[in-house]
């Protein structure tokens, strides 16, 4: 029987317990939540960032009716200092039009019959002439919509048009054709569905945003984990060939003035969704905004501490400015900026995260500078320190001790463990100190996206709720994955260019988040153990980037059958760091891990031990 102590006071459940952790990983923003349909709209992809990129990635040449054109990516007299490249059409013969076709993301550009699409582009052409924009099938045989612009300016000028789709498809192309004499310069070629989440301009894709909103998240942690704290510290004006650290000031204002960046997860990030959009989105879904900023350390396998005091002082000031941007009156410099962008009312920021999985001792020197500056100027803001991943053992404990010494309000804990770990660790927080910082479980997932994983997480959440006096916030991670650009699995919400679905874990999150009790009363089960069912689980393997080949996979174990996912046995599987030891050797990966979930053919309800040996080879992409 199950007995519930209804006379007990029980544990009050945090009214902010369930939230989401958004990271721009797996093309979560561009090609995902960000509703922009054109890929590489500003021609900023480049091979120095990623060998498979060119300035014309996703674009191809179109010549119609005897036309002839040479395409190049040029940079003299650019649109502005932050948007350095543009497309030049050198027209040898105009024919019936020459120009480019954009392939969008995944299979192409999705269109719905009768719906409107807003096109905008910048053009510069010394000889005035028309520019025709069409939405077509890949072979050009079907035209879904057309608009004609008259480009008359010899200097950069923005043009707009609205196209109404005459059919439904998920594989259209955007074709931009110039007629008449060249050269013609084009930049920021953009196409948005008129319908975005809550009708916001430069907004979010409705279906994905609605999936997130349906979770009723109480907070939104953004803009990511490794995306926030890995990169060089140079501002854009000192352009680095590789990624710069995430700097919030680069991500606000007109989108054509936001410099793109090459992010930790190995792809170009337009910053079309920037800090203003994140704050706005948090407000739209009724969540507390929870930004995480770099404190000049790096992490996630990269050691690049910022020790120069002057440079560090700028990052400290940027952090204070962010708080002012979110909460300051319109009379303050950054509050004024927020008002100019369209939101005079403060966003009501209450939490700020300092660092993400900082695994280098420079954190102990840098963190206090940020924390003290925030305490002095904004004493009401709750400061979140971090502890890294539970798998980091002694380091994790040291980070916790440091957070206590520093008087942090919360500590951000991360873990990606097996379902059996989640089942076995239901009591993890029962013995946590109630007097120090609260816990923010900022990232967690059991490795795999099966029903068994979801069940293990559901079981674990009962332990989190029972300890919600010390666990104030918790978020599954990562939130989003584009099925064609997977850096990391498991993920909560999966999508392609026109479909979206939740993993089993999504439905567990939704169930718990939408049904939060006020108090958890003590309960006990006595009697026969409940019947056990073997749990079949995928081996949750994700990767720092997808360009890792598995050369050798060996599974040994005590009987039973181990199921390897098809693509994994084919040598293209994904990998979750933290599942075992990992190390970078000679610029490549060598990893070992343990299979903790497997199906037992013996029909046993017990867990069996298996060992998986993997030799992996890095073939390109981000370092890590």
Binding mask 292-311 for ligand AHR (x = CB under 6 A): --------x-----------
Applying CB under 6 A, among 176, 341, 477, 562 the residue interacting with ligand AHR is: 477
Min separation Cβ 299 and ligand AHR, Å: 8
Min separation Cβ 550 and ligand AHR, Å: 20
Applying CB under 6 A, among 67, 193, 225, 540 the residue interacting with ligand AHR is: 225
Nearer residue to ligand AHR within complex by CB, 23 or 250 = 23
Applying CB under 6 A, among 33, 209, 226, 464 the residue interacting with ligand AHR is: 226
Eight-class DSSP state of 353: E
Does 223 sit near ligand AHR (CB under 6 A)?
no
User: Are the C-beta atoms of 12 and 518 separated by less than 8 Å?
Assistant: yes
Alpha-carbon distance 39 to 54, whole Å? 12
Min separation Cβ 545 and ligand AHR, Å: 12
Q: By CB under 6 A, how many residues form the interface with ligand AHR? A: 13
Find the residue with minimal CB distance to ligand AHR: 225
Min separation Cβ 227 and ligand AHR, Å: 6
List binders of ligand AHR among 357-386 (CB under 6 A). 357
Min separation Cβ 232 and ligand AHR, Å: 18
The distance from CA 109 to its chain's CA centroid, rounded to whole angstroms, is 21
Nearer residue to ligand AHR within complex by CB, 292 or 312 = 292
By CB atoms closer than 10 A (0-12, 13-18, 19+), residue 449 is buried
Alpha-carbon distance 362 to 304, whole Å? 10
List binders of ligand AHR among 255-284 (CB under 6 A). none
Applying CB under 6 A, among 26, 356, 450, 513 the residue interacting with ligand AHR is: 356
Antiparallel, parallel or unpaired: β 500-502 and 548-557 = unpaired
Q: Which of 44, 63, 179, 357 is catalytic?
A: 357
Applying CB under 6 A, among 23, 185, 413, 472 the residue interacting with ligand AHR is: 23
Min separation Cβ 415 and ligand AHR, Å: 10
Residue closest to 465 by CA, chosen among 434, 510, 500, 430: 430
Applying CB under 6 A, among 67, 224, 291, 573 the residue interacting with ligand AHR is: 224
Residue 110: C-alpha distances to residues 62, 115, 168, 243, 317 (Å): 20, 11, 8, 30, 42
Min separation Cβ 591 and ligand AHR, Å: 15
| Residue corresponding to tokens 């770990």 | 421
Cis link prior to 490 (omega < 30° from 0)? yes
Is residue 516 helix, strand or coil? coil
Nearer residue to ligand AHR within complex by CB, 224 or 274 = 224
Alpha-carbon distance 395 to 158, whole Å? 53
Binding mask 488-517 for ligand AHR (x = CB under 6 A): x-----------------------------
Stretch binding ligand AHR (CB under 6 A), from 129-137, 224-232, 427-435, 465-473 = 224-232
Nearer residue to ligand AHR within complex by CB, 23 or 596 = 23
Alpha-carbon distance 23 to 291, whole Å? 11
Residue closest to 543 by CA, chosen among 574, 565, 578, 567: 574
To the query of whether residue 309 is one of the catalytic residues in this protein, the response is: no
Min separation Cβ 440 and ligand AHR, Å: 13
Sheet order of strands, 157-164 included: 68-74, 86-93, 184-193, 116-124, 157-164
Alpha-carbon distance 575 to 555, whole Å? 15
Nearer residue to ligand AHR within complex by CB, 59 or 582 = 582
| Cα Rg, the chain, nearest whole Å | 26
List binders of ligand AHR among 430-449 (CB under 6 A). 443
User: Are the C-beta atoms of 193 and 115 separated by less than 8 Å?
Assistant: yes
Give the contacts of 424 (CB within 8 A, at least 6 positions apart): none
DSSP string, 87-140: EEEEEEE-TTEEEEEE--BTTBEEE-TT-EEEEEEEEE-SS-EEEEEEEE-TTS
Min separation Cβ 412 and ligand AHR, Å: 9
The β-bridge partners of 395 are: none
Nearer residue to ligand AHR within complex by CB, 42 or 387 = 387
List binders of ligand AHR among 405-424 (CB under 6 A). 414
Nearer residue to ligand AHR within complex by CB, 17 or 227 = 227
Is residue 513 helix, strand or coil? helix
Stretch binding ligand AHR (CB under 6 A), from 85-93, 221-229, 365-373, 593-601 = 221-229
Min separation Cβ 197 and ligand AHR, Å: 23
Applying CB under 6 A, among 10, 97, 478, 534 the residue interacting with ligand AHR is: 478
Min separation Cβ 226 and ligand AHR, Å: 4
Report the largest interatomic distance among the alpha carbons of the chain, rounded to a whole angstrom: 87
Nearer residue to ligand AHR within complex by CB, 20 or 119 = 20
Stretch binding ligand AHR (CB under 6 A), from 223-231, 266-274, 506-514, 610-618 = 223-231
Residue 217: C-alpha distances to residues 205, 411, 468 (Å): 18, 19, 16
Sheet order of strands, 410-417 included: 20-21, 219-222, 288-293, 351-354, 382-389, 410-417, 438-446, 471-476
Nearer residue to ligand AHR within complex by CB, 82 or 489 = 489
Stretch binding ligand AHR (CB under 6 A), from 166-174, 189-197, 218-226, 553-561 = 218-226
DSSP string, 401-466: HHHHHHT-SEEEEEEEE-HHHHHHTTTTTTTS-SSSPEEEEEEEEESS-SHHHHHHHHHHHHHHHH
Nearer residue to ligand AHR within complex by CB, 87 or 245 = 245
Nearer residue to ligand AHR within complex by CB, 315 or 488 = 488
| Binding residues vs ligand AHR (CB under 6 A) | 23, 25, 224-226, 300, 356-357, 414, 443, 477-478, 488
Catalogue the active-site residues.
357
């Amino acid at each position: 029987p199950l007995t519930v102590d209804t006379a007990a006071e029980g544990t009050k459940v945090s009214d902010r317990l369930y939230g989401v952790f958004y990271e721009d990983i797996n093309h979560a923003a561009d090609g995902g939540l960000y509703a922009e349909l054109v890929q590489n709209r500003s021609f900023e992809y480049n091979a120095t960032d990623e060998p498979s990129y060119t300035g014309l990635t996703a674009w191809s040449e179109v010549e119609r009716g005897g036309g002839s054109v040479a395409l190049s990516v040029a940079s003299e007299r650019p649109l502005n200092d932050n948007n350095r490249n543009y497309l030049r059409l050198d027209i040898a013969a105009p024919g019936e039009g020459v120009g480019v076709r954009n392939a969008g993301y995944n299979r192409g550009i999705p269109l719905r019959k009768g719906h409107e699409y807003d096109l905008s582009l910048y053009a510069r052409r010394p000889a005035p002439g028309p520019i025709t924009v069409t939405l077509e099938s890949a072979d050009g045989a079907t035209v879904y919509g057309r608009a004609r612009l008259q480009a008359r300016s010899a200097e950069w000028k923005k043009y707009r048009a609205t196209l109404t789709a005459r059919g439904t498809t998920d594989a259209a192309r955007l074709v931009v054709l110039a007629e008449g004499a060249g050269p013609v310069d084009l930049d920021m070629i953009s196409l948005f569905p008129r319908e975005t989440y809550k009708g916001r301009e430069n907004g979010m894709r409705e279906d994905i945003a609605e999936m997130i909103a349906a979770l009723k998240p109480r907070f939104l942690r953004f803009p990511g984990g490794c995306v926030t704290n890995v990169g060089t510290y140079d501002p854009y004006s000192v352009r680095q060939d590789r990624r710069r650290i995430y700097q919030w000031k680069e991500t606000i204002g007109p989108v054509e003035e936001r410099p793109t960046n090459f992010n930790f997860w190995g792809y170009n990030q337009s910053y079309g969704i920037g800090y203003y959009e994140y704050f706005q989105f948090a407000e739209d879904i009724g969540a507390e905004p929870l930004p995480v900023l770099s404190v000049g350390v790096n992490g996630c396998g990269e050691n690049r501490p910022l020790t120069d005091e002057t440079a560090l002082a700028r990052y400290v000031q940027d952090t204070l400015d962010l708080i002012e941007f979110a909460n300051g009156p319109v009379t303050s410099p950054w509050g004024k900026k927020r008002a100019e962008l369209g939101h005079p009312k403060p966003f009501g920021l209450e939490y700020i995260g300092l660092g993400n999985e900082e695994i280098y001792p420079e954190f102990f020197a840098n963190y206090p500078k940020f924390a003290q500056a925030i305490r002095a100027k904004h004493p009401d803001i709750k400061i979140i320190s971090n502890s890294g991943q539970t798998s980091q053992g002694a380091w994790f404990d040291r980070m916790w001790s440091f957070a206590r010494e520093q008087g942090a309000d919360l500590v951000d804990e991360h873990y990606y463990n097996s379902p059996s770990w989640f089942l076995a660790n239901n009591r993890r927080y029962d013995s946590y100190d109630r007097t120090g910082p609260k816990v923010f479980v900022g990232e967690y997932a059991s490795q795999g996206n099966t029903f068994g994983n979801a069940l293990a997480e559901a079981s674990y959440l009962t332990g989190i709720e029972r300890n919600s006096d010390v666990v104030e916030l918790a978020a599954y991670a990562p939130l989003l994955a584009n099925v064609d650009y997977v850096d990391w699995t498991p993920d909560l919400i999966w999508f392609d260019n026109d479909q979206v679905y939740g993993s089993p874990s999504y439905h567990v999150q939704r169930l718990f988040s939408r049904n939060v009790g006020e108090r958890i009363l003590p309960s006990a089960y006595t009697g026969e153990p409940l019947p056990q069912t073997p749990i079949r689980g995928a081996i949750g393997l994700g990767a720092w980037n997808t360009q890792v080949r598995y050369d050798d996979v060996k599974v040994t174990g005590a009987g039973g059958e181990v199921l390897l996912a098809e693509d994994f046995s084919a040598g293209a599987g994904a990998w979750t760091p933290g599942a075992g030891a990992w190390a970078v050797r000679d610029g490549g990966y060598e990893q070992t891990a343990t299979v903790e979930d497997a199906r037992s053919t013996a029909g046993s309800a017990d867990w069996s031990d298996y060992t998986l040996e993997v030799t992996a080879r890095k073939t390109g992409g981000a370092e890590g």
